[in-house]
Chains A and B, each alone.
Chain A
C-alpha cells in the first residue's frame, strides 16, 4: 500500500502532470488529485469513451482487449489505463 502511495506521489510530481484519477468499474471516482467537479466530469465522460473504445476493439476481434488509451489534445494529454475493475486516468501537459 505504501508502495502504491509512493508511486502515485512520484507520478504526481512528474513534470506537467495535472491530475491523477482512479475510477472504479461503475464510473465512480475512488481517488483523485483534482477538484471534485473536474473529477466527476472526467470520470463520467471517460467512462463512456472507454466502453466505446473497448467495444470497438473487441468487436473487431473478441479475443483482443483494450490495454491503453491516449487522447492528445491541444493543451494536454489524457492517458487512461483501463482494467476490469477500475481505470486509471492521468492528465499531463508535457510541454509545460
Chain B
C-alpha cells in the first residue's frame, strides 16, 4: 500500500476475515489511487447494485483504510493479503472522498468517474485497499472477488484522464449531493437485499504445503525467502515495469460448416475361448498369409478394376485363392471395397465348383449317405448285430404279420444290390479278415457261355445300397480272398486264369499286381484262391502268407510276390490211377483233372484237401507234390466245395453236383453221412462258425440250413428263392448269426437265422456223437 497522499485519518481497519459485521461509519471516503491511468467513465452504478452493496455500504465503514491494513484471522495471525498493486509513488493520489454517498443507484451515476477510479480494472493490485474501503467490513477475501466482478462489467477500461482535479471537485459535489440525499430519504424505509454473486475464479493457484521434514523443505524455504525479497524489491526495481495492454476483440463472424452425417455403427466382438485359441495359433501363419494377400492384392485389384469396367465379364480373372483371403481383410478405401465386391460376385460361380469338387465334400457326402442309410436300415442293422430292435415311437408301423412261429427260419434283413450288379452272377463272397463289416463280392459267370467282364465290389455294412469299392475286371471273377496279413489286399481269380491282387484302400482300378506276366499262369479259370499263413515255417522257406490257387488246368499253385507274381506248382491234379474197372490210364498223357476247390486244414497248414471235377477228393501235403496222401472217392460228380469243420479237426464236408453233401472223417475212406434234400446240384456249402452241427448249403433254387442235432436227413431250414433266381454262394458271418446268400441276379441277401437252437457250446461233442452213432449204426 502506498504511503503517500493519504490524507484521511481513519482508524486502521482491522477486519476479521471471517466476520461480516458491518462497521458503520460515515467517513469520508477517499480514493487512494492514481487516476491517470484507468478511469472508467462508463462505469455506472450497475456494478454496485450487482454487488448488492446497498446503502448499507455507505453507512458501512466505507472507509478508505490507511495504507496499512491488517487482517487477522481467528488466531490473531496476520494474514493480511499483500497488495498486488503498488502504484507509482510519483503519481498523485487523488483525494479520497465519499465514493458511496447515495443509497440509490441513481446517485451513482453522477459519480461514475469516481467509482471507476476505484476500479482500475487493469491493475488488479488496486483491488486490495479499495475494495476494503468500499465494501467495508465485507470480508477481504470477498472484496477482491467482488471487485473482479465489478470490473468485469466495466466496458471501457482505458480512460486516461487526469482526475486529480476533477475528483476533488467531484468529491465536493458529492458530499453535497450525499447530504441532500440523506435528508430526503432518511425517513423512508428502505429495503436492503444482500445477495452474493457467484464466485468467478480467474486464477486459482492453490497453495502447496511441504512438510518441514521433507527433502525439498530447504529448497522451498529458499524459494519462499527469495520471493519475499523479490516482493520487497519490486517497488523501485527497474526490472518490473507496469505495462498495460488492451486486447482487440475481433468482430465475431458466424461461419457455418456442414459435414456429412456421422453414421454410427455398432460393432461388437465376442471373445470366445476358441477365438482366442485360433488367433493364437494363426499368429505365426498370419505373417505368411498377409504377405501373400498383399501381393495378391496388388496383383488382383487392378484386375478387378478393369473387370468392373468390363461390366463384370464372367470369364474374368482366374480364380485365385488370395481373393478369398483379401475379401476378409479390411480395406481402407471404399473404392477398393467396391472392386472387391465386384470381384466377389464374379467369383461366386467358381467358388461353388471348388466346394463341390473338394475332397472334403466327397467325404462329407459319403458320411451323409451312411448316416441316411443308417436311419433307413437301423432296425435291420440292429437285428444283424444282435442288438435289440427298438421301435421308432414317432413312426407309424403297419402291423406286419410277423412270423412268430417257433420253428427256425431265415429272416430276410436286406440285400446288397445296386444297379451295377444287377444281372450279374455272384460267384464268390468273402469277408475282410480285419474289418468284419467289409464284404467283397465277385461277380462273374460260372458257365463258359455268356461270359462278360467281371466285377468285384467291396460292400460295407454301413451302405447296402452302393458298394464302397468297385473294381472292373476283364473277365468274370471266379474266386476272391482277402489277405490276413495285409488286410487291404484282395486276391481275385478270374475266369481266364488271371490272378490279380487289388489294394482296396485306394479306389484305383488297377491291381497292385496281376499274374498275366507270369509264364506259368493258369490257363483255365481259377476256381479258388486262398491266402495261407505258414507260420509254422517249413525249413526256412515260405514263411508268411502265401497265395494258393486251384485252377481248372489241374494245378494247385503257390504264388509268391517278389517283383511280380511268381508261381510254383504245389500239386498237379493227376487223375488217379484207378485200376478198378477202367483201363489203365496212360500216364504219359498227363491228364490233369480240373481242380475245383481246396481247403487247408485249420490246424495243420501242411495238409489240404482238393476236390476235382472227377469227383475225387484228394488229401495232399504241402511239401510233397508227387503223390496224394489219400483219395476220397464217393462223389459221382464234380466236387464243388470241400471244407474242414472248424470245430472237429477230423471232419470235413464236401458237396457236389450229384445232389449230395457228404460228411467225411479223414481217416475213413467212406463218408460218414450223406445229405440229400433235392435233386439239384449243390453249389456251395459252409460250416457254421458258431455251431459244430450246423452247416448251410446252396443248391438250385434253395437255401438250406442243416442242423445235425435235429435231423440228419432233412435240412432244418429250407428257404426257397424266387423262381428263376438261383443262389450261388453262401457265407456265414463270423460275428453274428446271419448268413449271406449270393444269387444269380447279383443280389447278396442277408438273412438272420431265427429260432435255431443255440446249445451254448459249440456242440463238438454232439457232432462227434452223431458221427459215432452213425458209424456204429452202419456196422
Contact = CB atoms under 8 A, between A and B. Distances in A.
A and B found bound together: yes
Interface of A: 1, 3-4, 7-8, 10-11, 14-17, 22, 24, 30-31, 54-55, 58-59, 62-63, 68, 70, 74-75, 77, 79, 81, 83, 85-86, 88, 90, 92, 94-95
Q: Which of B272, B276, B356, B466 has the most CB of A within 10 A?
A: B356
Given A14-B373, A58-B273, A74-B394, A83 B365 contact: no
A74 B371 CA distance: 18
A31 B465 contact: no
Given A31-B352, A55-B272, A58-B273, A4 B362 contact: yes
A32 to B, nearest CB: 12
A41 B283 CA distance: 36
B376 interface: yes
Given A4-B365, A74-B394, A59 B274 contact: yes
A85 B375 contact: no
B364 A81 contact: yes
A55 B276 CA distance: 12
Contacts of B365: 4, 7-8, 11, 88
Interface in B380-399: 392, 394-397
Contacts of A74: 394
A69 to B, nearest CB: 11
Contacts of B274: 54-55, 58-59, 62
A30 B371 contact: no
Nearest to A88: B364
Given A14-B465, A16-B376, A81-B367, A4 B273 contact: no
Q: Which of A1, A16, A30, A77 has the most CB of B within 10 A?
A: A30
Given A59-B273, A68-B367, A94-B375, A4 B352 contact: no
Contact of B368 (A4, A11, A30): A11
A31 B357 CA distance: 13
Contacts of A31: 352, 356
A88 B372 contact: no
Interface of B: 272-274, 276-278, 351-352, 354-358, 360-362, 364-369, 371-373, 375-376, 378, 392, 394-397, 465-466
Q: Which of A8, A15, A77, A81 has the most CB of B within 10 A?
A: A81
Nearest to A63: B277
A7 B362 contact: yes
B268 to A, nearest CB: 14
A58 B272 contact: yes
A50 to B, nearest CB: 13
B358 A85 contact: yes
B368 A86 contact: no
A30 B277 contact: no
A31 B361 CA distance: 13
Contact of A1 (B356, B372, B395): B356
A11 B361 CA distance: 14
Contacts of B375: 16, 77, 92, 94
A88 B742 CA distance: 35
Given A8-B365, A16-B375, A88-B364, 6 more contacts: A4-B361, A31-B352, A62-B276, A79-B368, A81-B364, A85-B354
The 7 A-B pairs of least Cβ separation, nearest first, read: A95-B395, A58-B274, A62-B277, A94-B375, A81-B364, A62-B274, A30-B352
Contacts of A3: 362
Contacts of A83: 360-361, 364
Contacts of B355: 22, 24, 30, 85-86
Nearest to B349: A30
Contacts of B369: 7, 10-11, 14
A27 B187 CA distance: 95
Nearest to B364: A81
Nearest to B360: A83
B361 A90 contact: no
Nearest to A87: B364
Contacts of A62: 273-274, 276-278
A66 B219 CA distance: 72
15 contacts: A4-B356, A4-B357, A4-B362, A11-B368, A11-B372, A31-B352, A58-B272, A58-B277, A62-B274, A62-B276, A79-B368, A83-B361, A85-B358, A90-B368, A94-B376
B416 to A, nearest CB: 15
Contacts of B352: 24, 30-31
A13 to B, nearest CB: 9
Nearest to A6: B466
Contacts of A54: 274
Contacts of B351: 24
A36 B436 CA distance: 44
A54 B277 CA distance: 14
A66 to B, nearest CB: 11
A59 to B, nearest CB: 5
Nearest to A90: B368
Given A77-B375, A79-B368, A10 B465 contact: yes
B340 to A, nearest CB: 14
B383 to A, nearest CB: 16
